């Protein structure tokens, strides 16, 4: 068995990712959810200072709080983070543009709320900004009351574009079949190897946020594969502990969970990161620095 890499403290370095805002209907449910580029950037810097090595970025319409896709918004967030010289790995979403809601008049036509976009459009901001990481959702599934559509053909287009831009895709898998598809795309050469997998649990109607589901999906990965995992809502912190115990890395943030504990709204992304860091250290590991995260993921800046 390969020796587990050790961090500067002689303990296993565990990457903490913070998902800052997402695109769900959470604005208004917790005033801490960042909306404007300035708020998202400030939240990212605070999360990094609290111990997050990676921040996962969506953008929202500053006026409405609804999910947005404008390049100018992504660029402003990134520029604001870089302006304060925050050392943190940027991970930008490509999930926008995959929502389908059948119209009542003609189900094969998208109704109100559908956002389906060509795969080339969904990665334009990645090609323009070139973050170190971007997400790639390896799934088509019922996602609550709408369908989240990512066909293999679209994933091939997006995967090749991301690779050409020199960006590492985080392969978000919401159920076991998603891992099978991701492994096939790796075999085809569409996705790079070694890969970065994210096991996403508790999303309706994907795999549940349970020990059994995480173990099953983790065991489908080839030996030595880098993976991280999370659960949404009240499962967020139990899944932090579970991912750690299974040898993975962790994700928290207001995209996935609005509460610090039962009945207590999280005051910030940083507060969620701080709690995750306490769990990491309580289980005798150490939160990875951005430099350690780059080394573990084989990112180009690892040698810097």
CA–CA separation, 237 and 243 (whole Å)? 10
Q: What pLDDT score was predicted for residue 86?
A: 82
Q: Which of 246, 247, 250 lies closest to 279 in space, CA to CA?
A: 250
What's the confidence (pLDDT) of residue 146?
Answer: 93
The fold of the 13-303 domain, in CATH, is TIM Barrel (3.20.20)
Q: Classify 55 in phi/psi space as left (phi over 0), alpha (psi -120 to 50) or beta.
A: beta
Q: In terms of Cα–Cα distance, which of 8, 15, 96, 85 is closest to 44?
A: 85
Cis peptide before 205 (omega within 30 of 0): yes
- Say if CB 200 and CB 222 are below 8 A apart: no
304 residues of the chain, pLDDT tens digit each: 334 566 556 899 999 999 999 999 999 999 999 999 999 999 999 999 999 999 999 999 999 999 999 999 999 999 999 999 889 999 999 999 999 999 999 999 999 999 999 999 999 999 999 999 999 999 999 998 999 999 999 999 999 999 999 999 999 999 999 999 999 999 999 998 889 999 999 999 999 999 999 999 999 999 999 999 999 999 999 999 999 999 999 999 999 999 999 999 999 999 999 999 999 999 999 999 999 999 999 998 643 3
Q: Are 248 and 228 in contact (CB under 8 A)?
A: yes
For the chain, domain boundaries: 13-303
pLDDT reported for residue 304 = 36
């Amino acid at each position: 068995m390969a020796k587990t890499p050790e961090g500067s403290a002689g303990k296993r370095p565990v990457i903490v990712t913070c998902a800052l805002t997402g695109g769900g209907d959470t604005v208004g449910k917790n005033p801490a959810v960042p909306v404007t580029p300035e708020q998202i950037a400030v939240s990212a810097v605070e999360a990094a200072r609290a111990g997050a090595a990676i921040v996962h970025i969506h953008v929202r319409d500053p006026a409405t709080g609804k999910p947005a896709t404008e390049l100018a918004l992504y660029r402003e967030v990134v520029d604001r983070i870089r302006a304060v010289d925050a050392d943190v790995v940027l991970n930008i979403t490509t999930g926008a543009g995959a929502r389908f809601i059948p119209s009542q008049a003609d189900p094969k036509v998208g109704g109100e709320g559908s956002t389906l976009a060509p795969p080339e459009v969904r990665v334009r901001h990645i090609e323009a900004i070139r973050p170190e990481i971007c997400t790639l959702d390896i799934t088509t599934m019922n996602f609550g009351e709408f369908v989240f559509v990512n066909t293999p053909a679209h994933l091939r287009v997006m995967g090749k574009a991301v690779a050409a831009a020199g960006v590492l895709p985080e392969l978000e898998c919401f159920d076991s079949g998603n891992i099978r598809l991701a492994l096939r795309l790796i075999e085809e050469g569409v996705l790079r190897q070694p890969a970065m997998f994210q096991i996403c649990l508790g999303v309706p109607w994907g795999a549940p946020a349970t020990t059994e589901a995480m173990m099953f999906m983790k065991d489908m990965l080839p030996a030595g594969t880098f993976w991280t995992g999370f659960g949404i809502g009240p499962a967020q912190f139990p899944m932090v502990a579970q991912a750690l115990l299974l040898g993975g890395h962790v994700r928290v943030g207001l995209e996935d969970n609005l509460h610090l504990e039962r009945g207590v709204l999280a005051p910030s992304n940083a507060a969620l990161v701080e709690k995750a860091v306490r769990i990491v250290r309580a289980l005798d590991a150490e939160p990875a620095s951005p430099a350690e995260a780059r080394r573990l993921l084989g990112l180009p800046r690892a040698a810097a």
